[in-house]
Amino acid sequence: MTATPTAPGSTPTDTIPDDVFTLPAGVKQVIPILDFGSQYVQLIARRVRDAGVYSMLLGPQVTVEQLKKLNPTGIILSGGPSSVYDENAPKPDPRLFELCVPVLGICYGMQVGCELLGAEVKNAASREYGRAELRVNEKSDLFKGVPDHTSVWMSHGDQVNTLPDEFVATATTPTCPFAAVRHKDKPFYGVQFHPEVTHTPHGGDILSNFLFSACGCRGDWTMADFMESESKRIKELVGDDHVILGLSGGVDSSVVAAMLAKSIGKQLTCIFVDNGLLRKGERDLVEQTFRGHFDLDLRVIDAEKQFLDDLAGIEDPQEKRTRIGHRFIDVFKDTAAQIKAEFEDQNTQIKYLAQGTLYPDVIESGHGYAGTAANIKLHHNVGGLPEQLGFDLIEPLRSLFKDEVRALGTVLGLPENMVWRHPFPGPGLAVRVLGEVTKPQLDLVREADEILLEEIVSNGLYRKTAQVFAVLLPVKAVGVMGDGRTHEQVVAIRAVESQDFMTADWARIPFDVLATISNRIINEVRGVNRVCYDISSKPPATIEWE
Ligand SMILES: Nc1ncnc2c1ncn2[C@@H]1O[C@H](COP(=O)(O)OP(=O)(O)OP(=O)(O)O)[C@@H](O)[C@H]1O
Ligand SMILES: O=c1[nH]c(=O)c2[nH+]cn([C@@H]3O[C@H](COP(=O)(O)O)[C@@H](O)[C@H]3O)c2[nH]1
Ligand SMILES: NC(=O)CC[C@H](N)C(=O)O
Ligand SMILES: [Mg+2]
């Protein structure tokens, strides 16, 4: 998956920045998850949150002192690609058990926890990948309510080979005698299988048993509570100052706008930037929706020329994002100066810039939890920001996943079509015109995208897909139209299903709908003679092409 904090066999040396240890307002119980590089780590975090318990990801180098700052209710050690006996295998702080809180080790996490408590881990004679039949020996603790025989999902080549007497083997599989263990004196539980994946049918029960029975979690992490506490925190933080918000009309910034409108009312100005990289009709739609729904101070800024000038001649996706991120900030600064000039009281400061940054943006930009996460994409609003911002940031959604933001939007009473809008990236069509971005190329992709979305909506596929868009490829293909040769561009269609946009699969759009889309694009968009359908999942591809 995306954020691998450590390459196999390397220990991260970076220390985790302090601000990571400040919990969102109102969070009283937290389950930190130490990420040893598992492809399922996001899934573990989401499962815990779905159970109503706040969870967060941390690099494995987190120290006991840092963990103490969080006052964790329990800790989960994730799986990972390393072997504990590798020279540089990532290891948790050896004093982990001094915290005296329940620890659940999953796969590598179990191996590393057991090793710390005196067990020996070795390469297994028979590896297990995929389904395995688990026999439960002890139906207490993690296995309360779980049948004696159940399927589990395995993915390991190593296993615990010898277990000290202080442990009990609570479950086995035909080739794994220690498929689940618990320590007799310390609150440590290990499972060699993956309870977080749906292929482990009772995985949810096992995780719930850990959270509610072993850790004593209350399950009181709800969006309604989050909204109350976060609104209160922002109100106190802002005081008499003024806040500007970059409003894109997407779910995230719309939710932030609604939340801020509620907590600070007239101290908020929303700025919608027409950067020339928007979809067809987007500007009007955003203006209408917001002017219609909220009593907000909304400014629409036309900055197409500046953005396109900045992008002239630029082909590198990271460079595009950086330039776009910088230009956004310049536009926000100029607009803030104009707004300030209008204030009656010239002592009022515009100190804050609010953004709809989400947890996946933070993690994928490598700014997440360790400073060592793989940098997949510099999201323009996180990694792409200039160093001297000139504002303090207010990012109320920084700790939330997309589906939590949608739940929050519903709690805030946003209309359904706004809550369920497909995401649209801040750099917009600049990352969907591959290679150099020019106005004619943008117009071309706009036309294709409009047709695509029309067909998706009219065929009832909008809510069944997570994101659908057209990409203009910088290649030309030969075709034949009206008996003549054509040499024109290629449009790729991307349609994905995804819950949290960290992983995604290509959507199985019916062939006849694809046929109509292709036919319409080729006929109606001048300059395109070929349409391709992208059938790559994420990982290994990403959702956007750049
Ligand atoms: N055209 C724009 N004008 C003003 N701010 C913008 C614009 N595009 C993006 N932003 C800012 O950048 C942030 C990140 O963009 P992003 O696309 O991830 O979020 P979003 O648009 O709010 O939601 P979604 O992901 O559903 O599109 C936004 O929350 C917003 O603050
Ligand atoms: O605001 C944004 N700024 C960006 O730079 C950016 N890059 C990707 N995305 C969106 O993030 C989700 C995951 O996209 P990827 O799989 O391409 O990384 C998808 O929903 C993408 O549309 C962005 N959003
Ligand atoms: N999925 C895992 O955590 C695997 C752990 C370890 N790399 C093994 O192969 O056993
Ligand atoms: Mg957006």
Residue pLDDT, tens place only, 259-290: 999 899 999 999 999 999 999 999 998 898 88
Of 45-54, 66-75, 216-225, 353-362, give the lowest mean pLDDT range. 353-362
Same domain, yes or no: 404 and 451: no
The verdict on residue 426 lying in a domain is: no
Give the CATH number of the domain where residue 512 resides: 3.30.300.10
Q: What is the whole-number distance in angstroms between the Cα of residue 161 and the centre of ligand 3?
A: 14
Please identify which residue in the block is written with the tokens 């004679």.
125
Q: In the chain, how many domains are there?
A: 3
The verdict on residue 380 lying in a domain is: yes
What does the angle CA 495 – CA 496 – CA 500 come to, to the nearest 5 degrees? Answer: 145
pLDDT in tens, 477-533: 999 988 899 999 999 999 999 877 877 899 999 999 999 999 999 999 999 999 999
- Look up 107 and say whether it is catalytic: yes
CA–CA separation, 457 and 452 (whole Å):
9
The verdict on residue 545 lying in a domain is: no
- 254 annotated as a binding-site residue: yes
Same domain, yes or no: 174 and 283: no
Same domain, yes or no: 167 and 253: no
Q: What is the pLDDT of residue 301?
A: 97
Atom of ligand 2 nearest to the CA of 469: 22
Q: What is the whole-number distance in angstroms between the Cα of residue 292 and the centre of ligand 1?
A: 20
Q: What is the pLDDT of residue 5?
A: 41
> What is the number of the ligand closest to the CA of 379?
2
Atom of ligand 1 nearest to the CA of 251: 26
**CA separation, residue 170 to residues 84, 146, 173, 188, 202 (Å):** 22, 12, 11, 12, 15
> What is the number of the ligand closest to the CA of 251?
1
Q: Which domain holds residue 291?
A: 223-419
The verdict on residue 538 lying in a domain is: no
The verdict on residue 192 lying in a domain is: yes
- 297 annotated as a binding-site residue: no
Same domain, yes or no: 237 and 318: yes
Per-residue pLDDT averaged across 534-539, rounded? 90
- CA 25 remoteness from chain centre: 20
Q: What is the whole-number distance in angstroms between the Cα of residue 379 and the centre of ligand 2?
A: 7
Same domain, yes or no: 76 and 200: yes
CA–CA separation, 439 and 253 (whole Å):
26
Same domain, yes or no: 227 and 144: no
Q: What is the whole-number distance in angstroms between the Cα of residue 254 and the centre of ligand 4?
A: 10
Which residue among 214, 241, 270 closes a domain?
Answer: 214
Measured from CB, residues less than 6 Å from any atom of ligand 2 are 321, 364, 377, 379-381, 423, 425-427, 467, 501, 538, 542-544
**CA separation, residue 185 to residues 69, 94, 117, 168, 213 (Å):** 25, 17, 11, 11, 16
Written as six digits, the tokens of 47 are 């499962």
CA–CA separation, 38 and 373 (whole Å):
12
Measured from CB, residues less than 6 Å from any atom of ligand 3 are 38, 79-83, 107-108, 155-158
Peptide bond into 32 cis (omega under 30): no
The SS3 of residue 455 is helix
Please report, as a single letter, which amino acid is at residue 342.
Answer: E
Same domain, yes or no: 62 and 187: yes
Buried b (16+ CB within 10 A) or exposed e, 25-55: bbbebbbbbbbbbbbbbbbbbbbbbbbbbbb
- Provide the angle, in degrees to the nearest 10, between the axes of the packed helices 223-238 and 251-264: 60
The 8-class DSSP code of residue 294 comes to: -
Neighbouring-strand partners of residue 156: 128
Same domain, yes or no: 509 and 459: yes
Residue 150's contacts (CB-CB under 8 Å, 6 or more residues apart) are: 133, 134, 136, 201, 202
pLDDT band at 4 (very low <50, low <70, confident <90, very high): very low
Same domain, yes or no: 202 and 233: no
Give the CATH number of the domain where residue 374 resides: 3.40.50.620
Q: What is the whole-number distance in angstroms between the Cα of residue 53 and the centre of ligand 3?
A: 26
Does residue 381's CB lie within 6 angstroms of at least one atom of ligand 1? yes
User: Could you tell me whether strands 392-394 and 103-106 are parallel, antiparallel, or unpaired per DSSP bridges?
Assistant: unpaired
Q: Does residue 373 carry a pLDDT above 70?
A: no
pLDDT in tens, 296-306: 899 999 999 99
- CB distance 182 to 170 below 8 Å: yes
pLDDT in tens, 58-74: 989 999 999 999 999 99
- Look up 319 and say whether it is catalytic: no
Q: Does residue 6 carry a pLDDT above 50?
A: no
Same domain, yes or no: 330 and 454: no
Q: What is the pLDDT of residue 539?
A: 76
Mean of per-residue pLDDT scores for the chain: 90
- 382 annotated as a binding-site residue: no
The protein residue with its alpha carbon nearest to ligand 3, atom 4, reads 156
- 145 annotated as a binding-site residue: no
- 146 annotated as a binding-site residue: no
Please identify which residue in the block is written with the tokens 């719930």.
208
Q: What is the pLDDT of residue 453?
A: 98
CA–CA separation, 14 and 59 (whole Å):
9
Can you say whether the dihedral through the CA atoms of 459, 463, 466, 472 is positive or negative?
A: positive
The catalytic residue among 183, 194, 242, 380 is 194
> Which conformational region is residue 90 in: left (phi greater than 0), alpha (psi within -120 to 50 degrees), or beta?
beta
**CA separation, residue 146 to residues 143, 177, 195, 206, 217 (Å):** 5, 18, 12, 8, 20
Same domain, yes or no: 471 and 525: yes
Q: What is the pLDDT of residue 500?
A: 73
The protein residue with its alpha carbon nearest to ligand 2, atom 18, reads 542
Q: Tell me whether residue 365 is exposed, middle or buried, using C-beta atoms within 10 angstroms of its C-beta: 0 to 12, 13 to 18, 19 or more.
A: buried
Q: What is the whole-number distance in angstroms between the Cα of residue 544 and the centre of ligand 2?
A: 6
Atom of ligand 3 nearest to the CA of 36: 3
The protein residue with its alpha carbon nearest to ligand 2, atom 10, reads 425
Does residue 424's CB lie within 6 angstroms of at least one atom of ligand 1? yes
Q: Does residue 182 carry a pLDDT above 70?
A: yes
- Look up 149 and say whether it is catalytic: no
Which residue among 395, 419, 443 closes a domain?
Answer: 419
**Phi then psi dihedrals of residue 130, to 5 deg:** 100, -155
Written as six digits, the tokens of 517 are 């889309």
Same domain, yes or no: 379 and 518: no
pLDDT in tens, 98-138: 999 999 999 999 999 999 999 999 999 989 988 899 999 99
Per-residue pLDDT averaged across 193-213, rounded? 94
The verdict on residue 4 lying in a domain is: no
Q: What is the pLDDT of residue 46?
A: 85
Per-residue pLDDT averaged across 87-91, rounded? 93
The verdict on residue 9 lying in a domain is: no
Q: What is the pLDDT of residue 1?
A: 30
The verdict on residue 543 lying in a domain is: no
Q: What is the pLDDT of residue 345?
A: 81
- CB distance 456 to 468 below 8 Å: yes
The catalytic residue among 114, 128, 176, 196 is 196
CA–CA separation, 15 and 241 (whole Å):
34
Does 374 or 213 have the greater pLDDT score?
213
Does residue 455's CB lie within 6 angstroms of at least one atom of ligand 1? no
Does residue 158's CB lie within 6 angstroms of at least one atom of ligand 1? no
Give the CATH number of the domain where residue 103 resides: 3.40.50.880
Neighbouring-strand partners of residue 493: 470, 533
- 331 annotated as a binding-site residue: no
Which residue among 194, 214, 234 closes a domain?
Answer: 214
- 203 annotated as a binding-site residue: no
